[in-house]
Amino acid sequence: MNKSERSRQIILYAVYITSVCCLQVTFPHVFRLFGRTCDLMLVFVVLAGYLFGTKDGIVVGLFVGMFRDYFSGPVISGKNGSPVAVLGIGLLAFFYIGLLSSILFRKRFRRKYTQAVLQVIFISAIYYSLGHIVSWVYLTLSHNIETYHSLKYILFSSILPQILVNVIASVPMLLLLRFAGPYKKGVRAGLVDGYSMEDRAWQKI
Amino acid sequence: MRRLFENKLLALVLTTILLVSFIVLSAIPGSPLAGATKPLSFIVDPIQSVFQSIGTKISDFYSAIAEGMKIRKENEELKEEIAELEYQVQQGEEARIRWEELKSAFQIQDTFENYHIHGASVLTRESDEWFSVIRINVGTKSGIDTSTGSYAVVDARMNLVGRVMSTDLDSSKILPLLHEGFTVSAKVNEVNGATVMVSGDIILKNQGLCVVTRIPSNVVLKPGTELVTSGEGGLFPAGIPIGTIESFDDSDPDNLKATMRPYVSIADIKDVFIMVPNTEEDISKESTSVPTSTPSSSAVVPPESSDPKESTTESVPETTGEGAA
């Protein structure tokens, strides 16, 4: 990668990361569908990891996670039950999202653009399922709360509509990364992860 | 070191340990890591403000086009309303003078007299179910500092919105009333009203409701009953309206429960006000200063606009807090 390509990569990633994060938290109502807000940050990290490899996935994931913590980081109960704003949960979660999206199903999906949507579905399902499990365990242990959302609510009012809106959001984002992304023609030339790159068939739509 | 990171699994484990340590350390009250976002706020807040400003302008532009006729009609109605309101203001002014006279005469203590009210605009909202605090555009620069404690946050009608969680240079995080981590001691807004506990609830928050617990066994909370802050605990001053009772569940006499609908709609709120208690220094300054026509020592600082033009035109010196209250 020469100097100009590196500069393009850094500048475009910086623009995309700040734009995606700021848009999601500033205008959530604009990206709201079926009662759920598109998780642009999650979709962006998944697509960056899936299309451009582990390094990109991890770095983008860490930055997006940092923004997520900064803008709306989660709150836990501190000493005496008083709420404390914690930092790092977004960093950790999005670090793994970036990593997983770059390594999961890479053989099966072969990094084709159309199948990136499947990766968004899969990672969204994992993230929201784990989120509910962790939230339930945490609330049960720390707040001694016996009630949580019903399985029906979690499935049909939380996870499935969220996956649907994330899939919808992934289409324009995919086109953006393909045609105006951090790499020319949407292909990261230096990406070698054990697969044939001779005809770049793995990155064709 | 290089060899260490060549082992991918080891690098992964080390990164995870590092991030988990970061989470644990940031959760410790008073930890220097809690302020780790301060440098970030220096860069991110101006960028975010630009996004907000652009979004608002686009939205205003489309509104102006789409609602032109409606606005014209509304304008005429508003002119009539202004005339009516001007008459009411005159009457209100007379009532205010009477109130000031009575207040001086009976030495009634103003509930929020010892608070500075800082106005702020909402910058960002929740990202998902778990990342659900909101961010506003005032921080340590404006004198809001959570190192000494938290502050109550109210809306323009003085209804409870939440509490300040943490502050950065130019922004602060607010824990909203509906968040499951939020708890406030409340009382029924009647003479000798019962004291109860209002908390956010993970299930009810989707319906915009809070749960009311610790209801004394002899108390029945009828739908429509108003709850206000009790003042217990010291964080929230007594008397801030919270909401009204929606339903009451007495199926378990040992564990009476109710649901409450807050007055404030977190999704629609744009401006908030932070109630900062006056320091001893402020109080001594007030006592030594020359008395003005309005004896109240509370002060309102208007919301900080992201548009510099607006902020210069709207920024006014400290005014009395009675308008907001």
Contact B127 A24 (CB under 8 A): yes
Q: Would strands B115-124 and B299-301 be described as parallel, antiparallel, or unpaired?
A: parallel
Nearest partner of B179 among B194, B160, B195, B196, judged by Cα = B160
Taking residues A44-56, report their average pLDDT. Answer: 91
Q: Which of B51, B131, B134, B197 to mutate to test the interface with A (most CBs of A within 10 A)?
A: B131
Cα dihedral sign for A48, A51, A56, A62?
positive
Indicate whether A107 pLDDT > 80: no
pLDDT the model gives residue B303: 58
CB B112 within 8 A of CB B275: yes
Indicate whether A109 pLDDT > 60: yes
pLDDT the model gives residue B202: 85
Which residues does chain B have within 8 Å of residue A74's beta carbon, measured at their own beta carbons?
A: 130-133
For chain B, say whether A163 makes contact (Cβ under 8 Å). Answer: no
Domain ranges of chain A: 3-190
Q: Which of B59, B130, B213 to mutate to test the interface with A (most CBs of A within 10 A)?
A: B130
CB A83 within 8 A of CB B182: yes
pLDDT the model gives residue B108: 46
Give the tokens for residue A11.
């500048």
- Please name the residues in contact with B167: beta carbons below 8 A apart, sequence gap of 6 or more: B139, B140, B144, B145, B146, B173
Domain ranges of chain B: 67-106, 183-262
CB A142 within 8 A of CB A81: no
Which tops the pLDDT comparison, B110 or B132?
B132
For chain B, say whether A201 makes contact (Cβ under 8 Å). Answer: no
pLDDT the model gives residue B314: 37
For chain A, say whether B40 makes contact (Cβ under 8 Å). Answer: yes
Which residues does chain B have within 8 Å of residue A25's beta carbon, measured at their own beta carbons?
A: 48, 123-127, 135
Question: What chain A residue is nearest to B27 in terms of C-alpha separation?
Answer: A86
For chain B, say whether A105 makes contact (Cβ under 8 Å). Answer: no
Nearest partner of B186 among B199, B200, B203, judged by Cα = B199
Separation of alpha carbons B134 and A132, rounded Å = 21
Which residue from A28, A37, A92 is facing B19, i.e. has the nearest CB? A92
CATH of the structural domain B183-262, one choice from 2.40.10.350, 3.20.20.140, 2.40.30.10, 3.40.190.10: 2.40.10.350
Contact B48 A22 (CB under 8 A): yes
pLDDT the model gives residue B126: 80
Q: Lowest-pLDDT range, A76-80, B142-146, B160-164?
A: A76-80
Indicate whether B4 pLDDT > 60: no
Percentage of chain B beyond pLDDT 90 is: 18
pLDDT the model gives residue B261: 95
Taking residues B51-74, report their average pLDDT. Answer: 81
Which residues does chain B have within 8 Å of residue A68's beta carbon, measured at their own beta carbons?
A: 127, 131
Contact A72 B36 (CB under 8 A): no
Indicate whether A205 pLDDT > 70: no
Contact B124 A25 (CB under 8 A): yes
The count of CB pairs under 8 A between chains A and B is: 136
- The B residues from 200 to 219 touching A (CB cutoff 8 Å) are 202-203, 206
Taking residues A4-31, report their average pLDDT. Answer: 90
Asked if this assembly's ipTM is beyond 0.90, the reply is no
Separation of alpha carbons B182 and B210, rounded Å = 10
First to last CA, chain A: 24
Which residue from A18, A87, A158 is facing B47, i.e. has the nearest CB? A18
Average pLDDT of every residue of chain B? 79
Which residues does chain A have within 8 Å of residue B127's beta carbon, measured at their own beta carbons?
A: 24-25, 39, 41, 68, 71-72
Cα B5 to the center of its chain, rounded Å = 46
Indicate whether B89 pLDDT > 90: no
Give bridge partners of residue B167 from the DSSP assignment. Answer: B172
Which residues does chain B have within 8 Å of residue A103's beta carbon, measured at their own beta carbons?
A: none
Nearest partner of A83 among B276, B232, B165, B210, judged by Cα = B165
Most confident of A20-24, B230-234, B283-287: A20-24
pLDDT the model gives residue B308: 42
Taking residues B77-96, report their average pLDDT. Answer: 84
pLDDT the model gives residue B325: 29
Indicate whether B321 pLDDT > 80: no
pLDDT the model gives residue A84: 80
Cα A198 to the center of its chain, rounded Å = 29
Q: What is the pLDDT of residues B103-118, one digit of tens each?
A: 655 554 455 677 888 8
CB B210 within 8 A of CB B259: yes
Indicate whether A68 pLDDT > 80: yes
Q: What is the pLDDT of residues B17-43, one digit of tens each?
A: 999 988 888 887 777 777 777 788 888
Contact B124 A26 (CB under 8 A): yes
Fold of A3-190: Arp2/3 complex 21 kDa subunit ARPC3 (1.10.1760)
Indicate whether B297 pLDDT > 70: no
For chain A, say whether B123 makes contact (Cβ under 8 Å). Answer: yes
Which residue from A72, A83, A87 is facing B181, i.e. has the nearest CB? A83
Most confident of A88-102, B74-88, B164-178, B288-302: A88-102
Which tops the pLDDT comparison, A154 or B114?
A154
Q: Lowest-pLDDT range, B86-90, B103-107, B233-237, B293-297?
A: B293-297
How confident is residue A198, by pLDDT bands cut at 50, 70 and 90?
Answer: very low
Percentage of chain B beyond pLDDT 70 is: 79
Q: Lowest-pLDDT range, B15-29, B45-59, B87-101, B301-315?
A: B301-315
Separation of alpha carbons B122 and B55, rounded Å = 14
Taking residues A173-183, report their average pLDDT. Answer: 88
Indicate whether B311 pLDDT > 80: no
What is the per-residue burial (b if ≥16 Cβ within 10 Å, else e) of A133-164? eebeebbeeeeeeeebbeeeebeebbbeebbb
How confident is residue B1, by pLDDT bands cut at 50, 70 and 90?
Answer: low
Q: What is the pLDDT of residues B240-259, one digit of tens each?
A: 999 999 999 988 888 899 99
Nearest 5°: phi and psi at B100?
-60, -40
Taking residues B279-303, report their average pLDDT. Answer: 55
Contact A131 B129 (CB under 8 A): yes
CB A78 within 8 A of CB B5: no
How confident is residue A4, by pLDDT bands cut at 50, 70 and 90?
Answer: confident
Contact B126 A139 (CB under 8 A): no
CB B285 within 8 A of CB B103: no
pLDDT the model gives residue B130: 81
Give the tokens for residue B10.
């080891």
Burial of A19 (C-beta count, 10 Å sphere; 0-12/13-18/19+): middle
Which tops the pLDDT comparison, B234 or B103?
B234
CB A91 within 8 A of CB A69: yes
Tell me which amino acid residue A137 is: V
Which residues does chain B have within 8 Å of residue A78's beta carbon, measured at their own beta carbons?
A: 27, 29
CB B193 within 8 A of CB B231: no
Which tops the pLDDT comparison, A168 or B310?
A168
Q: Read out DSSP for B64-121?
A: HHHTHHHHHHHHHHHHHHHHHHHHHHHHHHHHHHHHHHHHHHHTPPPTTTTEEEEEEE
- SS3 label, residue A7: helix
Separation of alpha carbons B138 and B161, rounded Å = 16
CB A69 within 8 A of CB A87: yes
pTM of the model: 0.76
What is the per-residue burial (b if ≥16 Cβ within 10 Å, else e) of B75-94? eeeeeeeeeeeeeeeeeeee
- The A residues from 27 to 86 touching B (CB cutoff 8 Å) are 27-30, 37, 39, 41, 66-79, 81, 83-86
Contact B34 A89 (CB under 8 A): no
For chain B, say whether A87 makes contact (Cβ under 8 Å). Answer: yes
Nearest 5°: phi and psi at A109?
-85, -25
- The B residues from 254 to 273 touching A (CB cutoff 8 Å) are 267
Name the H helices within A53-88: 54-72
Contact B127 A139 (CB under 8 A): no
- The B residues from 56 to 115 touching A (CB cutoff 8 Å) are none
Indicate whether A62 pLDDT > 90: yes
Burial of B304 (C-beta count, 10 Å sphere; 0-12/13-18/19+): buried
Contact B130 A135 (CB under 8 A): yes
Q: What angle do CA B219, B224, B229 make, to 5 degrees?
A: 70
Which tops the pLDDT comparison, B294 or A63?
A63
Which residue from A83, A86, A139 is facing B175, i.e. has the nearest CB? A83
